[in-house]
């Protein structure tokens, strides 16, 4: 009898819930300022969509789409048969040339991993950048500054970009690091003997200074007394360096530094009242750790740890930032450091923190105006540098009990692509590259996880993946530049050969001497 009662109770509960499902308005009922929602009968009876895009498959497709060999099997087979049937090498070369040109044309116009450029038919913005990096890295040091929010803090994403570019162009070390590292980094460990003040221009960890002299890192430390800082490189590749620079401004007492690296000790000193100074040490051997004893009254903007040549890549992650802080930095401190470092590329990776608040057209246009001002500021201070704006990654929120992409995210992406184009700089759509709408859900559920359970941030593995895709995008433009150069050389060679043949043919044509003499006498 008891089982019958339990069954009856269960059926009654189901019936009541079914009635609520049937009569509950789609938009719910507002009670005391709170909206109560209930799933509809259709939602209850429809099986949950368990389908998820295969992220490993998508990443593989993305990588293959950036290779010239990435043609459908049927096309490859047809080309192979046609080339086998070709009687001349010229025909075969023409077929291969057509395939290569078509690959680049399609990539620049359609591939999600492409750079969106002011003029979609002109890729020189990126190819010129790569040429500059290669040329400057051969002569000496060239610098890349990677600004971003918490997505890159701790040297995530940036470190993988650094490894890839240093493998390509040469280079060692970590770029610029703050004198006081508050956020744990995967590539550097710092310890300090005595506490010093730290100020940031933006983000959720903000303690603002009474001035705007934040330098290239958007942060500074203040010392008035003595302290010893120990720095240890933890980088996986190219961890050692032999060039150390300290950027600072002295105040009333000047600044004295004693640097110890193994058995070597160096001293340097600067007078009081010196704005935007730099101490520099060129060591005879490469090191990965050192101590520096500082004494005086100064603002410290950061250490730069590099080799003598190659590419240096700096990580500048400001947690909670939307990227609207550049105009709040004193232009002289910003420009001085970047010029000293020969900065030729500024990467600005933002948008994620602004997305939840861009709920109206007015707010969207407000963020556009702010980002427009930031890009103009950087261009004005660093006219030789290229700028790549990177939009936010996919992020998910819970809506009506379901995880889905933030409602305003695609508006943020469109806004950032528009502001990049309007300012004549490049844009890389990270949201599209990683798979677009709801892709973050698959990045989280992937084994191993490529994103954190907050459905916002990449995991360390995911950060490496997205950095790899960014590098592969650059490589496509580099290979195109090399391909175009080879075509130009080939055309010049063909032109020289044609002229040579014409000359040889002209020499073989018999000339009527009588006719020639009569012409010369006229």
Of 60, 61, 311, the closest CA to residue 164 belongs to 311
Q: Reply yes or no on whether the pLDDT at 261 is more than 80.
A: yes
Q: Give the H or E element holding residue 433.
A: helix 430-433
Question: What is the pLDDT at residue 354?
Answer: 96
Of 336, 340, 352, 332, the closest CA to residue 304 belongs to 340
Q: Reply yes or no on whether the pLDDT at 491 is more than 70.
A: no
The predicted model gives 419-431 an average pLDDT of 98
Name the band, by pLDDT with cuts 50, 70 and 90, for residue 518. low
Of 149, 202, 176, 198, the closest CA to residue 327 belongs to 202
Q: Reply yes or no on whether the pLDDT at 196 is more than 80.
A: yes
Single out the residue in 481, 498, 515 at which a domain terminates. Answer: 481
Question: What is the pLDDT at residue 394?
Answer: 97
Q: Reply yes or no on whether the pLDDT at 186 is more than 70.
A: yes
Same domain, 165 and 180: no
> 371 versus 77: which is more confidently predicted?
371
Looking at mean pLDDT, say which of 90-94, 181-185, 242-246 comes out highest: 242-246
Residue 207 in domain: yes
Name the band, by pLDDT with cuts 50, 70 and 90, for residue 485. confident
CA distance linking residue 351 with residue 70, whole number of Å: 32
Question: What is the pLDDT at residue 13?
Answer: 66
Q: Reply yes or no on whether the pLDDT at 141 is more than 70.
A: yes
Same domain, 236 and 383: no
Question: What is the pLDDT at residue 26?
Answer: 62
The predicted model gives 93-106 an average pLDDT of 79
Q: Reply yes or no on whether the pLDDT at 395 is more than 50.
A: yes
Question: Is 450 within 8 Å of 458 (Cβ atoms)?
Answer: yes
Same domain, 321 and 470: yes
Segment 1-41, tens digit of pLDDT: 566 676 666 666 676 666 666 666 766 666 655 555 556 65
Question: What is the pLDDT at residue 157?
Answer: 98
Single out the residue in 111, 126, 150 at which a domain terminates. Answer: 111
Q: Is 413 exposed, middle or buried (0-12, 13-18, 19+ CB in 10 A)?
A: buried
Residue 221 in domain: yes
Residue 219 in domain: yes
Write the DSSP assignment of 272-314 as a string of letters: TT--SEEEEEEEEEEESEEEEEEEEEEEEEEEEEE-SSEEEEE
Non-local (6+) Cβ contacts of 34 within 8 A are none
Question: What is the pLDDT at residue 159?
Answer: 98
- The tally of CA atoms less than 13 A away on the side-chain side of residue 226 is 2
Same domain, 245 and 278: yes
Structure tokens at 191: 């310890």
Q: Give the H or E element holding residue 497.
A: helix 460-508
Question: What is the pLDDT at residue 5?
Answer: 72
Question: Is 215 within 8 Å of 333 (Cβ atoms)?
Answer: yes
Other Cβ atoms less than 10 A from the Cβ of 158: the count is: 30
CA distance linking residue 181 with residue 212, whole number of Å: 20
Which region among 31-45, 179-193, 273-287, 474-488 has the lowest average model confidence (pLDDT)?
31-45
Question: What is the pLDDT at residue 87?
Answer: 47
Same domain, 275 and 397: no
Of 173, 186, 189, the closest CA to residue 239 belongs to 173
Residue 340 in domain: yes
The predicted model gives 380-386 an average pLDDT of 98
CATH number of the domain at 302, please. Answer: 2.60.120
Non-local (6+) Cβ contacts of 396 within 8 A are 403, 404, 405, 406, 438, 440, 441, 455, 456
Same domain, 147 and 201: no
Count of domains for the chain: 4
Which domain does 74 fall in, by range?
53-111
CA distance linking residue 400 with residue 395, whole number of Å: 16
Name the band, by pLDDT with cuts 50, 70 and 90, for residue 247. very high
Same domain, 283 and 387: no
Question: What is the pLDDT at residue 331?
Answer: 97
Other Cβ atoms less than 10 A from the Cβ of 245: the count is: 18
Residue 415 in domain: yes
Taking CA atoms, 184 is separated from 149, 156, 188, 263, in Å, by: 15, 11, 8, 28
Plot region of 249 (φ>0 → left; ψ -120 to 50 → alpha; else → beta): beta
CA distance linking residue 348 with residue 427, whole number of Å: 10
Name the band, by pLDDT with cuts 50, 70 and 90, for residue 500. low
CA distance linking residue 125 with residue 424, whole number of Å: 9
Same domain, 381 and 321: yes
Of 385, 461, 463, the closest CA to residue 426 belongs to 385
CATH number of the domain at 134, please. Answer: 3.40.50.1110
Same domain, 30 and 61: no
Residue 509 in domain: no
Residue 228 in domain: yes
Q: Reply yes or no on whether the pLDDT at 248 is more than 60.
A: yes
Same domain, 321 and 439: yes
Q: Reply yes or no on whether the pLDDT at 521 is more than 60.
A: no
Q: Reply yes or no on whether the pLDDT at 206 is more than 70.
A: no
Question: What is the pLDDT at residue 290?
Answer: 97
The percentage of the chain sitting over the pLDDT mark of 90, rounded to a whole number, equals: 68
DSSP conformation class of 489: H
Q: Are strands 396-399 and 402-405 parallel, antiparallel or unpaired?
A: antiparallel
Same domain, 119 and 237: no
Of 355, 453, 450, 449, the closest CA to residue 403 belongs to 453
Other Cβ atoms less than 10 A from the Cβ of 509: the count is: 6
Geometric angle at alpha carbon 378, from 278 and 419, rounded to 5°: 160
Question: What is the pLDDT at residue 1?
Answer: 53
Cα first-last separation, the chain: 134
Segment 316-371, tens digit of pLDDT: 999 999 999 999 999 999 999 999 999 999 999 999 999 999 999 999 999 999 99
Single out the residue in 68, 90, 111 at which a domain terminates. Answer: 111
Question: What is the pLDDT at residue 70?
Answer: 47
Residue 515 in domain: no
Q: Reply yes or no on whether the pLDDT at 76 is more than 60.
A: no
Q: Crossing angle for the helix pair 361-381 and 331-341, nearest 10 degrees?
A: 60
Question: What is the pLDDT at residue 66?
Answer: 85
Question: What is the pLDDT at residue 50?
Answer: 43
CA distance linking residue 28 with residue 48, whole number of Å: 21
Q: Reply yes or no on whether the pLDDT at 310 is more than 50.
A: yes
Question: Is 244 within 8 Å of 281 (Cβ atoms)?
Answer: yes
Average pLDDT along the chain: 87
Q: Residue 344 phi/psi, 5° resolution? A: -120, -5
Question: What is the pLDDT at residue 183?
Answer: 86
| pTM, two decimal places | 0.84
Same domain, 393 and 281: no
């Amino acid at each position: 009898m008891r089982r019958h009662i339990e069954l009856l109770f269960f059926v009654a509960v189901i019936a009541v819930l079914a009635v609520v499902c049937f009569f509950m308005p789609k938009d719910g009922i507002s009670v005391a300022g709170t909206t109560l929602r209930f799933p509809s009968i259709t939602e209850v009876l429809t099986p949950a969509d368990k389908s998820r895009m295969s992220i490993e498959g998508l990443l593989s497709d993305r990588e293959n789409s950036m290779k010239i060999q990435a043609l459908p099997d049927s096309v490859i087979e047809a080309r192979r048969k046609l080339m086998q049937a070709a009687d001349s090498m010229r025909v075969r070369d023409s077929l291969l040339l057509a395939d290569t040109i078509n690959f680049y044309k399609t990539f620049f116009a359609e591939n999600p991993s492409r750079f969106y450029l002011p003029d979609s038919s002109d890729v020189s913005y990126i190819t010129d950048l790569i040429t500059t990096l290669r040329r400057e890295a051969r002569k000496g040091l060239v610098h890349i500054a990677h600004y971003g929010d918490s997505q890159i803090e701790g040297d995530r994403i940036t470190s993988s970009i650094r490894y890839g570019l240093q493998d390509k162009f040469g280079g060692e070390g970590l770029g610029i690091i703050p004198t006081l590292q508050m956020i744990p980094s995967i590539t550097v460990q710092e310890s300090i003997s005595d506490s010093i003040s730290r100020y940031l221009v933006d983000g959720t960890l903000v303690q603002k200074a009474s001035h705007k002299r934040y330098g290239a890192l958007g942060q500074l430390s203040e010392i008035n007394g003595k302290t010893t800082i120990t720095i240890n490189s933890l980088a996986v590749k190219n961890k050692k360096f032999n060039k150390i620079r300290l950027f600072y401004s002295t105040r009333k007492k000047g600044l004295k530094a004693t640097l110890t690296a193994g058995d070597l000790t160096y001293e340097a000193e600067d007078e009081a009242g010196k704005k935007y100074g730099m101490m520099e040490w060129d060591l005879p051997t490469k090191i990965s750790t050192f101590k520096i004893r500082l004494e005086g009254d100064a603002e410290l903007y950061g250490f730069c740890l590099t080799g003598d040549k190659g590419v240096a890549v700096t990580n500048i992650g400001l947690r909670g930032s939307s990227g609207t802080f550049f105009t709040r930095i004193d232009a002289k401190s910003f420009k001085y450091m970047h010029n000293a470092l020969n900065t030729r590329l500024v990467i600005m990776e933002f948008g994620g923190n602004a997305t939840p608040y861009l709920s109206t057209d007015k707010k969207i246009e407000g963020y556009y105006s702010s980002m427009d001002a930031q890009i103009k500021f950087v261009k004005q201070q660093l006219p030789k540098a290229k700028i790549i704006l990177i939009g936010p990654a996919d992020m998910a929120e819970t809506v009506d009990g379901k995880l889905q992409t933030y409602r305003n995210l695609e508006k943020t992406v469109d806004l950032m692509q528009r502001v990049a184009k309007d300012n004549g700089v490049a844009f890389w759509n990270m949201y599209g590259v990683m798979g677009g709408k709801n892709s973050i859900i698959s990045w989280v559920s992937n084994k191993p996880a490529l994103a954190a359970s907050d459905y916002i941030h990449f995991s360390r593995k995911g950060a490496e993946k997205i950095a790899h895709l960014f590098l592969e995008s650059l490589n496509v433009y580099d290979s195109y530049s090399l391909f175009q150069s080879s075509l130009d050389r080939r055309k010049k060679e063909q032109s020289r050969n044609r002229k040579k043949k014409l000359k040889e043919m002209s020499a073989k044509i018999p000339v009527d001497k009588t006719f020639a003499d009569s012409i010369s006498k006229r």
